[in-house]
Amino acid sequence: MNIALNPCSTTKPAAKYFEIKASAKGIICTFENMIRRFQQFIKSESLFGLKDPILLAVSGGVDSVVLCRLMSDTGYKFGIAHCNFSLRDAESDDDERFVAGLAESYKVPFFTTRFDTGQAARDQGLSIQMAARNLRYSWFEKVCTENGYRYVATAHHLNDQAETFFINLLRGTGIAGLHGILPLQEKVVRPLLFATRDEIMQFAVRNNLEWREDSSNLSTKYLRNQLRHEVLPSIEKIDADFARNLDSTIRRLRGTEAIYRQKIEEGRSDLLEHTDNCDRILVSYLLEFEPVETWLFEILRQYGFSEAVTREIALSIEGTESKVFYSLSHRVLRDRDYLLIENIEKNPEHLDSEYLVYDTGHGIISTAPAPFTFRKVSADGFKIPEKQNIACFDYNRLRFPLVLRHWREGDRMVPLGMKGSKKLSDLFIDQKLSQAEKKSIWLLASGEDIVWVAGLRIDGRFRITGHTKDILIAEMIEPETEQPVPSCWLFS
């Protein structure tokens, strides 16, 4: 194969450097060895057979280029699919041309599409990554259905596995997040999960493969890249085979999770009662299940309740006072004898309501049907995060309980950097927001003052100053919280 390199592709000097580095680490990755392990992994995980047509998700990066080569040399039938997410201007178009040449060299079908990912994210109120994920998998499904492909294959490897494990660990996803990337998940297969990044790179170098290199892979402002370039290399100095050893632990955790889930399902069927109007849990019976908070979390997570809100619900069951707690789709009412779980998606009236954010003494929580987290920290040595979904305020200027609500006609604030107040309607016009986007935006208020238009602007009167002693950090959580990511990650 002889595909011309371009400015952001790997260069021969870089490849030579890696070969020396790989040899120093004792990596032995011959062509025959890689082929054999590739075939063994597919067989041991029952991923697919020789006659199954597979659609490869190919970004043009080294991992997906190696996947193409291995699929070709082992005789599997495949086609190549590439998504142009229009996130890196000319580089995205160069990636598309490169992958088209790759498909031509293997003489396999090539499918490509172009998305306006930024607009899709704005229309759906999602992060770039989540919007891209929805777009690509919907398109992959369409290509598979129309062209008879049984599975979509991505090029995840053991280092991706380690990075994902730590990302989930840092986000507090619980046992469900610790099972890592699955080799087979519905119609998605990951046949490179037996190999490390170094092994894949060495295979590419030894076999004179060429690929596209995204310069943003080197930026450490992304969480995954921080782990990749700063955290995991430090661990590998202690244990050079860390990624493979972690994979063994993850496999055991999957087994543990299966046993755990079986027990949870048994308890759920006992605890959860279904009526015509709602689902409910008898409080006196729930108290017989220990630990109560864990059982409650596992039952309520299917209704979208966060761990923080579940903790407050668990604390409320010992009392007699009626309280209401919200997720995006449901609410829990602490009645005298029951926890009543009601669906609010069919009742849009809750969008006009006000929801309290209060300091419980052991944490700051919101019962609003919106994914916000709040925490109080000291101002000593604090550095303000440069993320639109995070806002920081002088804690002592705020009046608790705070209020979360949606925009109303006549709302005003004093945007940071301005001296006078401004109507939010004018701010929305400046931001070119649609009517639907205006209605979906959340506002955080302290008394009558709007302190944050979530994701857009904060009020300068509540900013952090040199006199600030305590800080309130408010974060609007999305399913994926990182900012726009390198194109090769968009195939995960």
Which phi and psi angles does 93 have, rounded to 5°?
Answer: -70, -35
Distance between CA atoms of 311 and 367, rounded to whole angstroms?
Answer: 12
Same domain, 341 and 356: no
Same domain, 42 and 181: yes
Other Cβ atoms within 10 Å of 252 Cβ, number: 9
In a domain, 266, yes or no: no
Cis peptide before 233 (omega within 30 of 0): no
Distance between CA atoms of 161 and 255, rounded to whole angstroms?
Answer: 17
Same domain, 176 and 73: yes
**CATH code of the domain covering residue 336:** 3.30.465
Same domain, 127 and 99: yes
Q: Is 413 helix (H, G, I), strand (E, B) or coil?
A: strand
Same domain, 221 and 328: no
With CA atoms as reference, report the closest residue to 18 among 187, 282, 204, 230.
Answer: 204
Q: What angle do CA 391, 397, 399 make, to 5 degrees?
A: 95
Low-confidence ranges of the chain (pLDDT < 50): 1-24, 26, 479-492
List CB contacts of 149: < 8 A, sequence separation 6 or more: 53, 54, 55, 79, 143
Whether 269 and 323 have beta carbons less than 8 Å apart is answered as no
Same domain, 364 and 309: no
Helices 197-206, 12-24: axis angle to 10 degrees equals 130
- Extract the tokens encoding 229: 């370039």
In a domain, 268, yes or no: no
With CA atoms as reference, report the closest residue to 84 among 121, 58, 119.
Answer: 58
Which H or E run contains 128?
helix 128-147
**CATH code of the domain covering residue 219:** 3.40.50.620
Q: Last residue of some domain: 314, 346, 378?
A: 346
In a domain, 263, yes or no: no
Q: How many domains does the chain have?
A: 3
Whether 223 and 482 have beta carbons less than 8 Å apart is answered as yes
Same domain, 286 and 196: no
Cis peptide before 291 (omega within 30 of 0): yes
Same domain, 361 and 433: yes
Q: Which residue type does 251 have?
A: R
**CATH code of the domain covering residue 421:** 3.50.40.10
In a domain, 81, yes or no: yes
Distance between CA atoms of 66 and 154, rounded to whole angstroms?
Answer: 11
In a domain, 1, yes or no: no
Q: Last residue of some domain: 206, 227, 257?
A: 257
Distance between CA atoms of 316 and 334, rounded to whole angstroms?
Answer: 7
Distance between CA atoms of 30 and 156, rounded to whole angstroms?
Answer: 20
What pLDDT shows up at residue 477?
72
Whether 67 and 153 have beta carbons less than 8 Å apart is answered as yes
In a domain, 3, yes or no: no
Cα-Cα end-to-end distance for the chain: 26
Q: Last residue of some domain: 346, 365, 382?
A: 346
Same domain, 115 and 184: yes
Read off the pLDDT of residues 450-466 as tens digits, 9 standing for 90 and up: 999 998 999 999 999 99
Same domain, 327 and 368: no
Distance between CA atoms of 67 and 75, rounded to whole angstroms?
Answer: 12
What pLDDT shows up at residue 144?
96
What pLDDT shows up at residue 335?
80
In a domain, 489, yes or no: no
Q: Which residue type does 102 have?
A: L
Same domain, 370 and 305: no
Distance between CA atoms of 237 and 241, rounded to whole angstroms?
Answer: 9
Same domain, 389 and 331: no
What residue has token string 């054999």?
A: 36
Provide the b/e sequence for 123-138 (b: ≥16 CB within 10 Å).
eeebbbbbbbbbbbbe
Range of the domain at 438: 352-476
Distance between CA atoms of 457 and 464, rounded to whole angstroms?
Answer: 14
